[in-house]
Amino acid sequence: MRNQVTLKDIAAILGVSASTVSKSLNDSHEISQETKNNVLRVARSLNYVPNDIARSLKSSATKRIGVILPTIESDFFAKIIRAIEDEATKRNYKILISLSNDTIEKEKEAVSILLNGSVDGIIISLSQETQDSQEYSHLKNFSERRLPVVMFDRVCHEIECDKITIDDFEATREATLHLYEKGCKNICFLSTISQTSVGQLRKEGYIRALEELNKESENLIIEIPNYDQFNPILKKYLKEHNIDAIITSDQLSAICTLKIVQENGFNIPNDISVIGFTDGTIPKYTIPSLSIINQNEGQMGKQAFDTLISRIENMNAEVPKEFTHEILKTDFIKRQSSL
Amino acid sequence: MRNQVTLKDIAAILGVSASTVSKSLNDSHEISQETKNNVLRVARSLNYVPNDIARSLKSSATKRIGVILPTIESDFFAKIIRAIEDEATKRNYKILISLSNDTIEKEKEAVSILLNGSVDGIIISLSQETQDSQEYSHLKNFSERRLPVVMFDRVCHEIECDKITIDDFEATREATLHLYEKGCKNICFLSTISQTSVGQLRKEGYIRALEELNKESENLIIEIPNYDQFNPILKKYLKEHNIDAIITSDQLSAICTLKIVQENGFNIPNDISVIGFTDGTIPKYTIPSLSIINQNEGQMGKQAFDTLISRIENMNAEVPKEFTHEILKTDFIKRQSSL
DNA sequence: ATGAAAGCGCTAACAG
DNA sequence: CTGTTAGCGCTTTCAT
């Protein structure tokens, strides 16, 4: 930048060469202790900070990773970022965040920009539009460029890379069976994310559970395209159907469900049980407190970062590692909203 | 990165020089249309993307800005990031995010790393620890390096730079007076962020309102150091004091307050009114829905970014602009939780 | 133990 | 209209 102190400046002051300064700062054994001390002293006094950009250009390693997310205004993704950032800081990496706002256009843009050498690797969760349209061409560039990528949560099979998800299918399947055992006979699945892989899997898990219970013909599925229509759709559904449990596709829709169900005169959990996804402070403080499927975002974010880094560091290995798909365990946290 | 296609590659294929390619891609008038076409064709076929790092090194402009935040797991900061990212994308900037987790140590680290030429400017909201300890030395480096900085929300007077806040003082002052007019006589201020400038100002606004009402001796202030102690502290307070309204310092504490107040047998708003900060989907779906002071995060984030960019672009101006402190208007959104 | 020189990829002044 | 050259700040042989 403007007033950057450079190696040259330090070199000039001490009357040595830039390379001597460079080596001193990197504590090379080639340099005498005395020179090292001098360099260090001057560097500190000038508040010298090495220029990362120049280093990156030289080494073609940026020590930065790109993170592309559909949104950040969600407990789930916020926790993921926090976990990635935590881990990145420990390992001396910086994170560059791009938000796709669930559009394929912004996702493509983010991808193409990050492809320009700004980052050593990418962690991505696909936009709704991408998953809906199944257009993955923009993601193919990564492998061509040999830029490591890790997908998490919203992944696709069409692209070969490391992947991390929870077992979305199992999570709702188990939740459904659990509710059934507790006595719920008319279990409903409510989704605001039907266009995502995650939403699909959660729906399928629910349907599988019904099949196992020989109730597949009785599936009760509510799909809500956006939050403006949440209230009218759910309200109508409650009127027209006999329901005693609702599994929702995510945290926010569970919170909305809690309110609407009660507004319509039902007691939770006596009349209707409600289960959501993603833990946090808020599920503890809803009325009633919310039973949820904990996705262990901390572990997921850490895992995504670690996988990416080991891929980056193995980039030049003779034998490329096989791509992995890590499926993390969820756990169920029972609170007041479910039987 | 590894398989980067470079200008050289294109040049070699076409048998021209790298600078010709560079100029062609930048649509320089010096180059014939024919050559430009050829270059473009080859560039596209190779999937060429210019290397940002090299460009930055050359131009000493990175087209990146750093964003340092206390946390991301908060509706307020998430919305701010969204707004900054939106604006940044429009203007062709990328954002580099660092989280201080409210510690001064991580904040210092972030600052020193961003000082190394990785970004053209910085947007920061101070960590709790920084504001508590009043140690700002690490922030002085910015001006020395002439790296533009914009502070928002949690700011300090000791550092000269552009600042953006809402009128925290006025917001609680008005909310207090508003509640008083509605008939609340024992208005309480509950804060989980007493160690921040924002928390202080909100408290002072509340106190000022009491003074104006000649009730300053009756101030009812609840300070909660962390969420583990939320329930016990508030519960005890409710037992020992006669309260008919609570203004909380932020969104999350309002949500917690809603629950605890009702659990202890009070009706909201008939017995006790509750007002929080920061709008979003959740305040609409709490039970009862939450009256809030809207901080217009979208505008705040945009403003922060725009201010930073105009500062960056005016870096080389003869007459440096005066630093500004923009104070944004809030608005009150009344829902069911307050009279 | 130190320094000179080359080069990472790109741009821009200057020549031709 | 195109090419040569130099240089952004740093690292890294290779000489000395």
Q: How far does the CA of B59 sit from the C1' of D6, in Å?
A: 15
Cross-chain residue pair A144–B3, CB shorter than 8 Å: yes
Shortest-distance nucleotide from A11 CA to C1'? C3
What is the structure's pLDDT at A318?
A: 64
Cross-chain residue pair A144–B49, CB shorter than 8 Å: no
pLDDT, tens digit only, all 339 positions of chain B: 456 889 999 999 999 999 999 999 999 999 999 999 999 999 999 989 899 899 999 988 899 999 999 999 999 999 999 999 999 999 999 999 999 999 999 999 999 888 888 899 999 999 999 999 999 999 988 877 888 999 999 999 999 999 999 999 999 999 999 999 999 999 999 999 999 999 999 999 999 999 999 998 888 999 999 999 999 999 999 999 999 999 999 999 999 999 999 999 999 999 999 999 999 999 999 999 999 999 999 999 999 999 999 999 887 666 778 999 999 999 999 999 998
Cross-chain residue pair B146–A2, CB shorter than 8 Å: yes
Nearest-CA residue to the C1' of C3? A17
Which residues of chain B lie closer than 8 angstroms to A258, CB-CB? 285, 287
Between CA A191 and CA B330 the distance in angstroms is 34
Any strand D atom closer than 7 Å to B118 CB: no
How many helices (DSSP H) and strands (DSSP E) are in chain B? Answer: 14, 12
Shortest-distance nucleotide from A9 CA to C1'? D9
Query: In a mutagenesis test of the A interface, which of B53, B75, B267 is the best target, namely the one with the most A β-carbons within 10 Å?
Result: B53
* Other Cβ atoms closer than 10 A to B323: 14
Q: Is the pTM of this model over 0.75?
A: yes
**CA of B264 vs chain A CAs: smallest distance (Å):** 13
Nearest-CA residue to the C1' of D11? A58
Note the pLDDT tens digit of each residue in A157-199. 999 999 999 999 999 999 999 999 999 999 999 999 999 999 9
Lowest mean pLDDT among A111-125, A223-237, B45-59, B306-320: B306-320
- CA-based Rg of chain B, rounded to a whole angstrom? 26
Q: How far does the CA of A331 sit from the C1' of D4, in Å?
A: 66
Between CA B12 and CA B16 the distance in angstroms is 7
Nearest-CA residue to the C1' of D3? B17
Q: What is the mean pLDDT of chain A?
A: 94
What is the structure's pLDDT at A141?
A: 82
Minimal Cα distance from B78: which residue of A?
A73
Note the pLDDT tens digit of each residue in A59-82. 888 999 999 999 999 999 999 999
- Name the percent of chain A in helix, strand, coil, to the closest 5: 45, 15, 35
Which residues of chain A lie closer than 8 angstroms to B70, CB-CB? none
Contact assessment for residue B197 and residue B187, using Cβ atoms and an 8 Å cutoff: no
* Other Cβ atoms closer than 10 A to A112: 13
Q: Is the dihedral of CA A88, A93, A98, A100 positive or negative?
A: negative
Out of A47, A49, A73, the one facing B78 most closely (by C-beta) is A73
Closest CA to B323 of B209, B168, B156, B110: B156
Cross-chain residue pair B99–A106, CB shorter than 8 Å: no
Shortest-distance nucleotide from A20 CA to C1'? C2
What is the structure's pLDDT at B318?
A: 63
Query: In a mutagenesis test of the B interface, which of A65, A89, A118, A264 is the best target, namely the one with the most B β-carbons within 10 Å?
Result: A118
Residue type, A301: G
Cross-chain residue pair A3–B258, CB shorter than 8 Å: no
Q: Which residues contact B209 (CB under 8 A, 6 or more apart)?
A: B172, B173, B174, B176, B177, B180
